[in-house]
Amino acid sequence: MSVPFIITIFLIGFVGSFLSGMMGIGGAIVKYPMLLFIPAMLGFTAFSPHDVSGITAVEVFFSSLSGVLAYRKSNLILKPLVFYMGISVLIGSVIGGAGSSFLSENAVNIVYGVLAVMAAIMMFIPKKGLEDQLIEEITFNKWVASIAALLVGLAAGIVGAGGAFILVPIMLVILKIPTRVTIATSLAITLLSSIGSASGKLFTGQVPYMPALVMIAASILAAPLGVKASRKINVKVLQGVLAVLIMGSAVKIWLDIFYK
């Protein structure tokens, strides 16, 4: 790999991982299209979708891990929610991945697209009176959290995409979790859910190692910076940026459905 190519991949990883740390969405939804299109646009060897999915699967694990470590002393990670949603989304993604051969890809993409639109709509629902709540005072419906995460995991596992950008609005709107706690907790959930996909890609030889290592280096540097930025940004601004990213994700999924 040439030096300009390495710099390009590093910058893609840095931007995506910074957003990951700041927004708690894993970052794959940003990094995937950037990796797929930007190197080719700049005249470098284009990555195939297969390559990109392998790189992002591994890199999201390290990006989420860096973000969680940066949050470890913040008292913002709601551990019971990580347990219920993390285990459920992991189980769902494993089942979804195993059962994907029984469903048409287009049918599942439509299901995932519907979930993404619902997530985008939820982000624009007003959220009042939640942000000053102490983490010790936060309660949530364990059944709703587990079932929602399981369903998102099923769809994400079948499609082969991340589900964190759908889980975030579920946590904010349905479970009534404060924004900063949601961002920190969703990174921990993403870390759990990424273990299966990253392991599967590595064990089956689907990861181009050098580009993945460059992305991992970028994520280790950028995700903690994103975490620091999220602590200084107004909650309303964070919610607005999250809404835009999730809406963009929904649009991308539907474009993939209609033009694939």
Residue 233 amino acid letter: I
3-state class (DSSP) for residue 94? helix
Q: What angle in degrees, to the nearest 10, is found between the helix axes of 49-71 and 28-41?
A: 130
The first and second tokens of residue 28, run together, are 């794959």
Q: How far is CA 142 from the centre of its chain?
A: 22
The pLDDT tens digits of the residues spanning 240-259 come to 777 787 787 778 778 777 77
How many other C-beta atoms can be found within 10 angstroms of the C-beta atom of residue 216? Answer: 20
The pLDDT tens digits of the residues spanning 66-88 come to 888 888 877 888 899 999 998 89
Identify the pLDDT of residue 158.
66
Grade residue 11 by pLDDT with cuts at 50, 70 and 90: very high
Query: Hey, CA dihedral for 257, 63, 68, 71, is it positive or negative?
Result: negative
User: What's the DSSP call for residue 46?
Assistant: P
**Number of domains into which the chain is organized:** 1
Rounded CA-CA distance 140/135 in Å is 12
Rounded to two decimals, what is the model's pTM? Answer: 0.77
Domain around 255: 3-259
